[in-house]
Amino acid sequence: MTGGIRRPHGGFAGPVKRSITIAGHPTSISLEPLFWQALEQAAAARHLPLSALVAEIDAVRIGAPDPPNLASALRTWLLNDIMHAKDDNRSQQG
C-alpha cells in the first residue's frame, strides 16, 4: 500500500554526471535528472545560463561556515527555492 504516493514523472533515476564550467574551471556534478531539470528551469526563470546559476550557488556555498559539497548545495538550494516560491504565491493570492 502506497497511501497515494506516486513515483515521480519519468520514474526514479540515479544521478547523472555533467561537466559545467564554473569560474573558468570544468567541474563534474552528479545529480538526479529531476534536479537537473529543476536547475534548468530555475536558470531559465532568471534568464541565466545553467552554468551561471550554478556558479552563483557555488559562490554562496563557499561562503558558508561549513560548506557542503556542490551537489548537496544545489539540491538544498533548489528545494528552498521551490518552497519559497510556493510561499510567495500563497502570500500574493491571499
The crossing angle, in degrees rounded to 10, of helices 33-45 and 70-93 is: 60
Position 51 scores a pLDDT of 95
DSSP codes joined into one string, 57-73: HHHHHHTSSS---HHHH
Cα(74)–Cα(67) distance, integer angstroms: 12
pLDDT value for 19: 96
Q: What is the per-residue pLDDT across 19-66, written as a single tens digit (0 to 9) for each?
A: 999 989 999 999 999 999 999 999 999 999 999 999 999 999 999 999
Question: What is the C-alpha to C-alpha distance for residues 4 and 22, in angstroms, rounded to an integer?
Answer: 41
pLDDT of residue 87: 61
Q: In this predicted structure, what is the pLDDT of residue 7?
A: 86
The count of residues in the chain is 94
Return the pLDDT at 84.
87
* Sign for the pseudo-dihedral over CA of 41, 74, 49, 65: positive
